[in-house]
Amino acid sequence: MEAVVAAPRALVGRALTGPVSVRVRDGRIVEVVEGRAADAEVLPTGLLTAGLVDVQINGAFGVDFADVDAAGMRAVAGFLPRTGVTRFLPTLITAPVPAIVRQSRALVAAMAALPEHYGARPVGLHLEGPFLSPQRHGVHDPDLMVAPGTDNLDLILRDRAVAEALRIVTLAPERPGGTEAIRRLVEAGVVVSVGHSDATAAQTTAAADAGASMVTHLFNAQTPLSHREPGVPGIALTDHRYTLGLIADLAHVAGPVCRLVFAAAGERVMLVTDAVAAAGMPAGRYRLGGAEVLLTEAGVPRSPEGTIAGSALTLDRAVRNIVSLGVAEADALTSATEIPADAIGAKDLGRIAPGAVADLVWWDEDLRPRRVWVDGEVVYDADEVGGLVAAGS
């Protein structure tokens, strides 16, 4: 199947240009040219980008990935395209290692059961725990946190289905065995992210020396930035080996600080949602890792004790939030497309370029998704009743 889409503006090579025509064949982009091709479907207004990539999402649309089945995964995959997301990494938080393996197997089975050409597509698994610091536990249960010793890693990496799906592990590098765990995970092809960590600046640098290449939700649940001890954020902002995850709901990190992050390291900032089951849902009670969280009209999920518990953020709203702070549209959109794709080694996602997967988003002038393609097929159209147009919907 071949199609050509022409847009007045498009994000190509981390810059806005246009008009541009994008030719798609068999689910891949085969040509990107200036101007409007004669055989193109012309988008009259707005902006064309690659699909958004969310590498940290614990659930959405009432579904908690710690307790998911095929129907739940289908619900999330169907919901995400209306937010511009075409690829995502289901994320599990701290639990006993055997429980994490069971949850991971269930996630893998649910991902495999998704119908072809249906909604957004999961691209693996992100384990945010249990190899974290009890001193920086956030909403995670500190009593379930363990050091990443050989036995614990063996339980995860020797399960073939889980190991094949595993893309990111967030850990605290200062835990006993942390450096060895980073090296082992990186050798296994897993991206290691520093998070929920009490690491010093020196320990954060040593983690990068060992192969860590990401920081999970910058500033949240980690040593603070100080003028004498830079902590995790100080190294993250100045060490170019790190890609920085940022929850841009303007509650986890204040707007001026988000602006500072983009000014200091915009080419390495990766927008994430850290969304929980409450995302896309009204105020009420939801689950995160099996525990209850409350979403009020304020829009920020919290534990019964009042701790922020993930977010109800969607990635398109994160982009709009960042643009509202004065960050250029191209930079904000790149931080939700190409940068997260590159962070997980998916060089064929998150970009409009020949050879890339044909995941596309047509945005209106207010940066709201109007139409979304996954693998070259339209999976969401705001003009259709219900929006979702995927096969089997």
Cα–Cα dist 10/16, whole Å: 6
pLDDT at residue 96, as a whole number: 96
Which positions are catalytic? 274
Annotated binding site: 128, 139, 196, 217, 220-221, 228, 252, 308-310
Task: Please provide the average confidence, as pLDDT, over all residues in the chain.
Answer: 95
pLDDT at residue 393, as a whole number: 38
| 22 is a domain residue | yes
Q: pLDDT at residue 289 above 90? A: no
| 348 is a domain residue | no
Cα–Cα dist 337/352, whole Å: 10
Cα–Cα dist 183/179, whole Å: 6
- Domain match, 182 and 43 both: no
More confident residue, 304 or 20: 20
Phi, psi of 187 (to 5 degrees): -60, -30
How sure is the predictor about 301, in pLDDT bands with cuts at 50, 70 and 90?
A: very high
- Domain match, 9 and 38 both: yes
Per residue in 200-255, pLDDT (tens digit) is 999 999 999 999 999 999 999 999 999 999 999 999 999 999 999 999 999 999 99
* Percentage with pLDDT > 70 across the chain: 98
- Domain match, 174 and 129 both: yes
| 336 is a domain residue | yes
Annotated binding site for substrate: 139, 220-221, 228, 252, 308-310
Look at the chain and report how many structural domains it folds into.
Answer: 2
Q: What's the whole-number mean pLDDT along residues 6-11?
A: 97
pLDDT at residue 200, as a whole number: 98
Q: What's the whole-number mean pLDDT along residues 29-37?
A: 95
- Domain match, 82 and 181 both: yes
Annotated binding site for Zn(2+): 128, 196, 217
Cα–Cα dist 232/221, whole Å: 10
Q: What's the whole-number mean pLDDT along residues 300-308?
A: 91
Residues 15, 4 contacting (CB under 8 angstroms): no
| 230 is a domain residue | yes
- Domain match, 336 and 199 both: yes
- Domain match, 303 and 216 both: yes
Q: pLDDT at residue 385 above 90? A: no
pLDDT at residue 319, as a whole number: 98
- Domain match, 325 and 294 both: yes
Q: What's the whole-number mean pLDDT along residues 288-304?
A: 89
- Domain match, 23 and 98 both: no
Q: What's the whole-number mean pLDDT along residues 263-282?
A: 96
How sure is the predictor about 388, in pLDDT bands with cuts at 50, 70 and 90?
A: low
pLDDT at residue 92, as a whole number: 98
Q: What's the whole-number mean pLDDT along residues 90-101?
A: 97
- Domain match, 238 and 173 both: yes
More confident residue, 385 or 129: 129
More confident residue, 38 or 332: 332
Count of positions (residues) in the chain: 393
Residues 104, 165 contacting (CB under 8 angstroms): yes
Handedness of CA 251, 192, 263, 48 (dihedral sign): negative
Q: What is the reported pTM?
A: 0.96
Q: What's the whole-number mean pLDDT along residues 256-261?
A: 98
> How far apart, in Å, are the Cα atoms of 380 and each of 158, 273, 276, 372?
38, 20, 22, 5
- Domain match, 256 and 372 both: no
Q: pLDDT at residue 391 above 60? A: no
pLDDT at residue 174, as a whole number: 98
pLDDT at residue 392, as a whole number: 38
Secondary structure in 3-state letters for the chain: CEEEEEECCEEECCEEECCEEEEEECCEEEEEEECCCCCCEECCCCEEEECEEEEEECEECCEEHHHCCHHHHHHHHHHHHHHCEEEEEEEEECCCHHHHHHHHHHHHHHHHCCCCCCCCEECCEEEECCCCCHHHCCCCCHHHCCCCCHHHHHHHHCCHHHHHHEEEEEECCCCCCHHHHHHHHHHCCCEEEECCECCCHHHHHHHHHHCCCEECCCCCCECCCCCCCCHHHHHHHHCCCCEEEEECCCCCCCHHHHHHHHHHHHHHEEEECCECCCCCCCCEEEEECCEEEEECCCCCCECCCCCECCECCCHHHHHHHHHHCCCCHHHHHHCCCHHHHHHCCCCCCCCCCCCCECCEEEECCCCCEEEEEECCEEEEECCCCCCECCCCC
Residues 19, 46 contacting (CB under 8 angstroms): no
Neighbours of 240 (CB within 10 A): 9
- Domain match, 376 and 304 both: no
In which domain, by residue range, is 367 found?
2-48+355-381
Residues 67, 284 contacting (CB under 8 angstroms): no
- Domain match, 174 and 189 both: yes
How sure is the predictor about 117, in pLDDT bands with cuts at 50, 70 and 90?
A: confident
To which residue do tokens 């600080």 refer? Answer: 257
pLDDT at residue 364, as a whole number: 97
To which residue do tokens 């991971």 refer? Answer: 104
